[in-house]
Amino acid sequence: MTASISDILLHWYDAHARDLPWRVPPGAALPDDPAWPYRVWLSEVMLQQTTVAAVKPYFAKFIATWPTVEALAAARDDDVMAAWAGLGYYSRARNLVKCARVVAAQGGFPSTEAELRQLPGLGDYTAAAIAAIAFRQRAVVVDANVERVVARLFAIAEPLPAARKAIRAATDTITPASRAGDFAQAMMDLGAHICTSRAPRCMLCPLRQDCAGHASGEPERLPVKPAKKAVPERRGTAYWITRADGAEVWLVTRPASGMLGGMRALPDDGWSAQSDGSAQPPLEGQWRQLGAVRHSFTHAHLTLAVAALETGSGTPGDGQWWPVSRIGEAGLATLFAKAARLALAD
């Protein structure tokens, strides 16, 4: 069964590959461009837990602003974090800058999976993907899409995450020695558009004749996922503090570690989850309650009240006055951008 799977899938990929700005056409030679590994790395970091549609404009912006890894390495942290704002999972942006500086100091990206894995922020998947796609090394690339395709192809019924060892081993058996990068991207495309989580389009799948999950009649039950844990509710308050003329708002930079680390933000109460309102605002005065915004993280749902105050003097600690008319350029994370929109609507 497994001997022909890579050939079948690569033939399908040659005809149906997605046209993406960080890819070369199927079977094409690698670009004669020293920035090529940088583009592959940047796209793979951005694509972690994020859709292709969401990544495209961010990728274009980063490439236009920092066309090489050396340019990104020389960038200010604040500028990179502001450019990343809205893409989520902000630890990726912090690791992006760290990794760029290491790579620039080394004179370029290493080409092997083992060496790539030593770079900041690169786990097993990202290192394998870069090795296969940017350097044409044989590497076993397993993301969520590949995980789903392989679990169905081999009818691996062990629940996740325990099943991942068997899924990786099965992926290894069908990964070809040549065109490993095209094969990895073909598996990703198949999982993204054909072998989807719900209602897989099996009749369009080039691998359906070899797929044990399809033969079972219930491919959508694989991979078996653990029961979802209840997501806790948290509460907090963000503070919209403006000068008396309303032209500037007080912004802070969040600590480098922790949630939304290194991002510009509105001051807040630390998301203390205190529902009794006992948390103290950063300045004394007549605070106006503007309402609340809601945001979901992977680990919690947050309801953030927004309180406003105009102040003639005094600032609540470290931060900066930012022109309200340019708040869209501040690079606020999505949560605080929601709070700012609520304040501006008021």
In whole angstroms, what is the distance from residue 254 CA to residue 238 CA?
A: 13
**Contact between residue 213 and residue 151 where contact means Cβ atoms under 8 Å apart:** yes
pLDDT score for 116? 96
pLDDT score for 329? 84
Instruction: Provide, rounded to the nearest whole percent, the portion of the chain with pLDDT above 90.
Output: 60
pLDDT score for 279? 64
Whether 145 and 44 map to the same domain: the answer is yes
Adjacent-strand bridge partners of 293: 304
Output 297 or 211, whichever has higher pLDDT: 211
Which residue, of 193, 221, 249, is where some domain finishes?
221
H helices present in the chain, as ranges: 5-16, 36-47, 52-65, 69-73, 77-84, 91-106, 113-116, 124-135, 144-153, 164-174, 180-193, 212-216, 334-345
**Contact between residue 302 and residue 232 where contact means Cβ atoms under 8 Å apart:** no
E-assigned strands of 186-323? 233-243, 248-253, 264-265, 288-296, 301-311, 320-323
Adjacent-strand bridge partners of 233: 301
In whole angstroms, what is the distance from residue 125 CA to residue 226 CA?
A: 21
- pLDDT over 60 at 277, yes or no: no
Whether 51 and 104 map to the same domain: the answer is yes
pLDDT score for 313? 66
- pLDDT over 80 at 184, yes or no: yes
pLDDT score for 234? 87
Q: What is the mean pLDDT of residues 111-134?
A: 94
Q: What is the mean pLDDT of residues 116-133?
A: 94
Whether 238 and 213 map to the same domain: the answer is no
Nearest-10 crossing angle of helices 180-193, 124-135: 120
Q: Backbone phi, then psi, for 338, in 5-degree steps?
A: -60, -45
**Contact between residue 298 and residue 283 where contact means Cβ atoms under 8 Å apart:** no
pLDDT score for 273? 44
Whether 75 and 184 map to the same domain: the answer is yes
Which residue, of 221, 251, 268, is where some domain finishes?
221
The boundaries of the domain holding residue 261 are: 233-345
Residue type, 149: V
Annotated catalytic residues are 44
CB-count exposure of residue 16 (10 Å: 0-12, 13-18, 19+): middle
Whether 93 and 202 map to the same domain: the answer is yes
Residue 228 belongs to a domain: no
pLDDT tens column, 194-215: 999 999 999 999 999 999 999 9
**Token output for 165:** 């060892």
pLDDT tens column, 128-176: 999 999 999 999 999 999 999 999 999 999 999 999 999 999 999 999 9
Which residue, of 168, 197, 221, is where some domain finishes?
221
pLDDT score for 275? 43
Residue 164 belongs to a domain: yes
Classify strands 288-296 and 264-265 as parallel, antiparallel or unpaired.
unpaired
Considering its fold, how many domains does the chain have in total?
A: 2
pLDDT score for 314? 65
**CATH number of the domain residue 315 falls in:** 3.90.79.10
pLDDT confidence tier of residue 10, bands split at 50, 70 and 90:
very high
pLDDT tens column, 55-104: 999 999 999 999 999 999 999 988 998 899 888 888 898 899 999 999 99
pLDDT tens column, 221-271: 999 998 888 888 888 899 999 987 888 899 988 887 777 777 888 988 876
